[in-house]
Chains A and B, each alone.
Chain A
Amino acid sequence: MRLLGIEIRRAFARRLTKIVVVVALAGIIAGGLTTYFKSQRATVHVGPSATQEQQIKNDLIQSCLRGGPLPGQEGGPPGAPGEGVVPAPGQSLPPVGTADRQAVCAKAADQIQFGGFEDKRFHLTRIMDLFKHLSVWFAILAWLLAASYIGAEWRTGMMATLLTWEPRRVRVMVAKAIAAVLVAFVIVMVLQAILVGALYPAAAYRGSTAGTNEAFWRTFSYVGLRSGALAALAATLGFAVGALGRNTAAGLGAGFVYLAVIEGGLLGGLIPSVRPWLIVGNAIIFINNERNPDIRGRSPTQAILLLVGYAVGLWLIATLVTKKRDVT
């Protein structure tokens, strides 16, 4: 436990950890302020100008008078004719060339509503999707922190020094991995909590908190937890790759090459049958907590179990290699 405590202190005290947290906090604060000032209680009208609207209406009326569809119906611009304008089922339009037809066409055109009103308010319910998207970045962050944590130990030679104090390498690897994962998880959870706090004023004072009932917060907290869990898994993978490469750059480079080139390009693109076994697809299923039509038969539970299996498996390999390999 002493060793674990030391490793946790060390992981939190690292300069990179502090830099990452400070940069993330700066981003969150900037995002919160931007959202606050961009969010508007008033709605904004969008659509064509009055002259353009009149021109369109005239064209539609002319078309209607020549036997075309009623303005606002098939082939017309967005919007709908007012109530009572559209003939009831079975009832046909007045014949072309009659005054009735002209009246019906003009009335229908007059009822058309062009464009609409854009809701420029920030709705707090949007944070659900925001967190799902951010979970990818948090996972990358966790990978970076964990890979650099173990990579720096090897690069500085501190690992050798530590092993002259605690020669049981498996114990050292367990303590370090737990510290790396814990730190990544805690940082991601805290950052998410701060992000909610940063965005809340924009919704409460200049936007909308509608829909944020108890059920919403329950679902939202599960999304946050899943994001934290994904970060923990990414940290485990990053730690394992960094330990195998004994280098931060190796840990990051291997991760990038695998995810972007091998998984994203070669395996995912060329061999569709392996898609159910790739990391990214399963991570998406897990974060969204719903099945992905691209990966048939993979439930969120199966996805997380697979990801845990990958993370633990790779960590075990890294630990065995560390146990056997010389420290020179």
Chain B
Amino acid sequence: MAVIEIEGLRKEFRRLRGGRNVAVDGLDLSVEHGGVYGFLGPNGAGKTTTIRCLLGLVAPSAGRTRVLDTETPHLHTVIDRIGSMVETPAFFPTFSGRRNLRLLGRIDGIGPAAVDSVLERVGLGDRGDDSFKHYSLGMKQRLGIAAALLREPELLILDEPANGLDPAGIKEVRQLLRTLADEGRTVFLSSHLLGEVQQICDHVAILARGKCIAQGPVADVLSRGEAARMVVKAEDLEGALEVLRAAGFEAVINPDHILVTAPPSEGARISRALATKRMYVSELRPMEVSLEDVFLELTKEEGA
């Protein structure tokens, strides 16, 4: 069952000096129940605008969005099953973190015990009584996550939750989100920390210039970024390059290795081609592709 469905979403903003800025351009997206769904894209790709459309904060210019099987205009019927955080969390600056959460919680009849519990869960148990304006960016993010968790939601929509967190905080949030997903919730996560996304996401979608340019399971998206390549190391790199090209491989030389455009299954053929010319590989392995590589490759193509 899809918890988020986006069909043909388009959002234009009017510019002050005339003209229109297309933030999201015909986006189609489907997020299935359960797991962590990464929503990636460079700055200005339309991630936050998409999230705002999902939450009813921004009205789409065209297309439709459904959350938990409900059209966004009727979001109020399911809003208590959704926890969200959009960009930098905003609360009353002169109120403490705890007081801010208690105010929000009262809307749904959530008591102080639940507030204390989520503050502990995000590591703000000791600082809950400090004024929000005295929080660091990382603490604000934690409070935003706490607010999103307050309703024990089945769907979490988080926009850059790790923004401003230190490495330890990023790791904590990563573990927290994974735990939430393992509890059976769906986490829709917008982030630019690709390494983090790769570690915790089950599915990803990559957005560029308001369009989705790739989506699916992480492994599938990783394999789409560029052709599979093999790393070859040998004593005589120049000679090995010549031999491999003569054998019909597309290869390029780097300072300490050769990159051969070929899938791992071609490893034996590469090794044999070199061996017949009395050249022996010291290292032969598939080149690891990171989400960052794929992301940069795909967004570069889209930009071109």
Contacts and interface: CB of A to CB of B under 8 A. Distances in A.
B interface, over-half SS: loop
Contacts of B55: 163-164, 167
A158 B86 CA distance: 11
Given A158-B91, A163-B55, A327-B52, 5 more contacts: A156-B90, A156-B92, A160-B86, A167-B56, A167-B76
Identify the interface centre among B55, B90, B95, B104: most chain A CB within 10 Å of its CB.
B90
Given A2-B107, A3-B107, A165-B108, A326 B58 contact: yes
A326 B59 CA distance: 6
A167 B147 contact: no
A321 to B, nearest CB: 13
Interface in B54-96: 55-59, 75-76, 79, 82, 84, 86, 88-95
A150 to B, nearest CB: 13
Contacts of B75: 167
Measured as residues with beta carbon below 8 angstroms from the partner, the interface class of chain A is: 20 to 34
A6 B106 contact: yes
Interface in A232-261: none
Interface string A131-166: 000000000000000000000100011101111111
Contact of B107 (A14, A165, A327): A165
B103 interface: yes
B84 A6 contact: no
Contacts of A152: 92
Contact of B90 (A13, A157, A166, A328): A157
Contacts of B91: 156, 158, 161
Contacts of B59: 324, 326
Contacts of B103: 6, 9-10
A127 to B, nearest CB: 35
Contacts of A3: 107
Contacts of A156: 90-93
Nearest to A169: B56
A164 B86 contact: yes
Contacts of A328: 13, 52, 57-58
A168 B52 contact: no
Contacts of A126: none
Contacts of B56: 163, 167
A115 interface: no
26 contacts: A2-B107, A2-B109, A5-B106, A6-B103, A6-B106, A6-B107, A9-B103, A14-B94, A15-B94, A156-B90, A157-B90, A158-B90, A158-B91, A158-B92, A160-B90, A161-B91, A162-B104, A163-B57, A164-B57, A164-B79, A164-B82, A165-B79, A166-B76, A167-B76, A326-B52, A328-B13
A2 B106 contact: yes
Interface in A271-328: 324, 326-328
Nearest to A15: B94
B143 to A, nearest CB: 10
Nearest to A164: B84
A164 B56 CA distance: 8
Interface in A1-51: 2-3, 5-6, 9-10, 13-15
